[in-house]
Structure 1
Amino acid sequence: MTDLAQDLAAFLTAAPTPYHAVAEGVRRLSAAGFTEQPESGPWEDGPGGRYLVRDGTLLAWFVPEAAPPGTPLRVFAAHTDSPTLKVKPRPDTGAAGWRQVAVEVYGGALWNSWLDRDLGLAGRLALYDGSVVLVDVRRPLLRVPQLAIHLDRQVNQGLKLDPQEHLLPVWGLGSPAEGDLIEFLAAEAGVDPAEVAAHDLVVHELTPPARLGEHEELLVGPRLDNLASVHSGLGALLAAADDAAGVIPVFVGFDHEEIGSASATGAAGPLLETVLTRLAGGFDARGAAFAASRCLSVDVTHAVHPNYLGHHDPNHRSVPNDGPALKVNANQRYATDAPGAAAWHRACRDSGTPTQVFVSKNTVPCGSTVGPILSTRLGIRTVDVGIPVLSMHSARELCGVQDPAHLAAAATAFLTDPI
């Protein structure tokens, strides 16, 4: 289990953006013998492992030998994006002798968690010739400086941040005209800055992931929401490929979950439906296949916070290292129902994995996941689960060191369950 947590730490470091997460996923799948299915190319329907990439979204699947049309599907669905600060199209700004970078908030970030941290910059540069180049400045480059307490004596009674005025990182001294950020990044990526037509760039926290506690039973790091799930899902798919019979295991990591999933590469888009329809044997065969299929929607859940016990339901608290939690909501903010919960509990029993149940306190509304979107769009029975974390949506989050392995084991059983 500790080896897998160490591998998760390496995955977090390698994946500062969804595009880098996809690239690292492809590297791991390719090393295991999976081959690319070009989205615009001929469909390969033979046995074996395939993967498909569209921007920050990755799909992968394994077709067993002699799988007939209509074979049920077992889907592991997660997301590759995390709350952060995204660079605006015209990034160079500044004031009073400081060079700064114009950013906007991506997703429901805890703004204060980005203050006074050494930040890198990563993403992709789109060139005029149609190619895309990944870039990752993995060294201290940016910082969002907090106002000194001497200039705001009431700050500890309530910090108020204006995202337009107070979240702009500094990256040097001088005037904005002296700070061509895109020229700098083009040099980092080894491309001609005159060839850069557009960009998708975000800041990222640079402190390496680490084990925490007297017994090192906790793991802290950036982007656990939701790269911890992506990492376990990829591992589960590779393990399921050795034991798949009677079902087709599928992994998908969507982009744009943190901003509502309504995009061509989000869960509300048609990409997964198109792939699953092809895997089922076409539109005429997919009705029966989808009816016999199941989806595991995997996103981190809230660990019980010892300093804020009043924010949690006393009978449905989730604790790190007690296993991934089944997520339940009467209003279908999570897609879990009783038959789906039974399938999850069967997977945990068969894999010897502990599990727990998370339900929000009635007066504290829960968030949502890709689960309700997928169940609505596909009509496939969907179960929501996730490992417990503290500091969700912070620049740096915390989970139990054993839970990634618990999740991978239960997910492998789910992806190979023929019932």
Structure 2
Amino acid sequence: MSSAVYTQSGFNLGLLKFLQASPTPFHATRNLAECFLAAGFEQLNEADSWQLVPGKRYLVTRNDSSIIAFIYGRSDLLDSGIRMLGAHTDSPCLKVKPRAELNRRGYFQLGVEVYGGALLAPWYDRDLSMAGRVTYRDESGQMASALVDFKRPVAIVPSLAIHLDRDANNNRSINAQKDIVPLILQLPTEDSVLPDFRSLLHAELQASQPQLPVSQVLDYEISLYDTQPPALVGLEQDFIASARLDNLLSCYVGMQALLEADDQVSSLLICTDHEEVGSASCCGAKGPMLEQFLMRLLPETESRIRVIERSMMISADNAHGVHPNFMDKHDENHGPLLNRGPVIKVNANQRYATTSETSAFFRLLCETADVPVQAFVARTDMGCGSTIGPVVASEVGVKTIDVGCPTFAMHSIRELAGVQDAWNLYRAVVVYFCYAKPPMALLSSR
């Protein structure tokens, strides 16, 4: 089994850099792909014919926002199965509308949609930038796409002063249509003609990537994000504060662990888009991306079913840590603590895909890696979120467990995790990817 080559400090610094460089799912997927390519993975094109060879490493992307990285182990798949880990690349945010330009008393504002279940209040009074994918016509008339990131603060959503909203601290609601409209420019006069937002994107592409032959911006998928960089916080730097910890933390853990895996057994990482809005897309977990990959790897149906039966999926997505100011929001026996190890997530109504068998196997992994482990169950009188776990389990039929690092302020513009937890999850996943036997081999045959 390969041993970890990172220290916890180096691992976390790499995580901070990855978070900072990945303001959108498109950027996260590009950064993941670049790391795998640098490590010798071969990029596949879904439109081409594939000839996959045992002992080699591959990656494939879809929609520029989802990725599968795969080590094709030398061991027979019917003997070893596939060790899979899944995460998601998207996070709740504000997305710019197609006709976004608004002139309000001479202020140029952008119409936005709320993507996912975002906490809206933390978006006020933040130095915001914009990033995403732009599709354009080039100078030869062909269509192409490129990623853009303004990086600098270009937008803000100012709060209404307390003097004009005396109940702001007591019972304030936020109207997503009219209360969180970002401000990006003051016009010379109230009657000034608004700049076309596409022209602003064109100018930014020309300035940041002058080599691109952009003739006309046709359309875009642009999100706003907080420019405050990720940081280690606390008197003893016990915590990681950052946007998009849910769920780029798990993507980073999966990438680093897969880079540690050898080529004796088959291991797979899938990071998909659109989890925060239900995963129902061509590149989401409810779409066919993973199933189609497995069909191309194993075209014969019976063999594929047999391999899936000997495989396992770890669905890695952040868990709710027990908040010291709101402890009554947790079941008294299931309040995970930050820096106390990864969390096994359980739900009787299948909001999580964990079973007693997959949970037991993960506990053995953590024991082997000398990693503490915790459990989360939502209060019975409260609703429970979900993950890609139940989606993959039902779509592919693979045994699945839901785990994650405990987190505060999930779905806020800035979340909080413990410095030890991503590291400990990584250590457990390294053992998982290098485990010599099929994940379910410890179970007695029935």
Structure 2 residue 213 is the aligned partner of structure 1 residue 198: no
More displaced stretch, 38-47 vs 148-157: 38-47
Who is 1:53 aligned against? 61
Who is 1:9 aligned against? 16
Shift of 1:328: 0.4
Residues 311-330 of structure 1 aligned to structure 2 (within 5 Å): 311-330=329-348
Shift of 1:350: 1.4
Q: Is the 8 A contact 1:58 1:254 kept in 2?
A: yes
Q: Is the 8 A contact 1:343 1:414 kept in 2?
A: no
Who is 2:444 aligned against? none
- Which runs of 5 or more structure 2 residues have no equivalent in the other structure? 1-7, 207-211, 442-446
Q: What SS does structure 2 have at the residue aligned with 1:3?
A: helix
Structure 1 residue aligned with 2:49, among 42, 48, 53? 42
Who is 1:364 aligned against? 382
Structure 2 residue 167 is the aligned partner of structure 1 residue 154: yes
Q: Is the 8 A contact 1:70 1:281 kept in 2?
A: no
More displaced stretch, 191-200 vs 288-297: 191-200
Structure 2 residue aligned with 1:169, among 182, 207, 212? 182
Please give the TM-score of this superposition, normalised by the length of structure 2. 0.91
Structure 2 residue 35 is the aligned partner of structure 1 residue 28: yes
Please give the TM-score of this superposition, normalised by the length of structure 1. 0.96
Partners of 2:313 and 2:201 in 1: CA distance: 40
Q: Percent identity?
A: 38
Structure 2 residue 94 is the aligned partner of structure 1 residue 85: yes
Q: Is the 8 A contact 1:205 1:395 kept in 2?
A: yes
Structure 2 residue aligned with 1:238, among 259, 283, 287? 259
Partners of 2:371 and 2:136 in 1: CA distance: 47
Residue-by-residue CA offset, 1:80-136 (whole Å, 9 max, x unaligned): 000000000112112111000110000000011111100000001012323111000
- Which runs of 5 or more structure 1 residues have no equivalent in the other structure? none
Structure 2 residue 186 is the aligned partner of structure 1 residue 182: no
Partner amino acid for 2:330?
A: H
Partners of 1:284 and 1:13 in 2: CA distance: 44
- Relative to structure 1, the CA distance from residue 285 to residue 151 in structure 2 (aligned partners, 3 Å threshold; closer, same or farther) is same
More displaced stretch, 346-355 vs 204-213: 346-355
Q: Is the 8 A contact 1:70 1:288 kept in 2?
A: no
Root-mean-square deviation (Å): 1.4
Who is 2:423 aligned against? 405
Partner amino acid for 2:349?
A: N
Residues 251-400 of structure 1 aligned to structure 2 (within 5 Å): 251-280=269-298, 282-400=300-418
Q: What SS does structure 2 have at the residue aligned with 1:262?
A: coil
Partners of 1:274 and 1:130 in 2: CA distance: 27
Q: What SS does structure 1 have at the residue aligned with 2:20?
A: helix
Partners of 1:327 and 1:293 in 2: CA distance: 20
Partner amino acid for 1:22?
A: T
Shift of 1:377: 0.8
Q: Is the 8 A contact 1:107 1:259 kept in 2?
A: yes
Partner amino acid for 1:172?
A: L
Shift of 1:178: 2.9
Shift of 1:66: 5.2
Partner amino acid for 1:81?
A: D
Shift of 1:412: 1.7
Q: What SS does structure 2 have at the residue aligned with 1:268?
A: coil
Partner amino acid for 1:29?
A: F
Structure 2 residue 151 is the aligned partner of structure 1 residue 138: yes
More displaced stretch, 125-134 vs 178-187: 178-187
Partners of 1:184 and 1:338 in 2: CA distance: 54
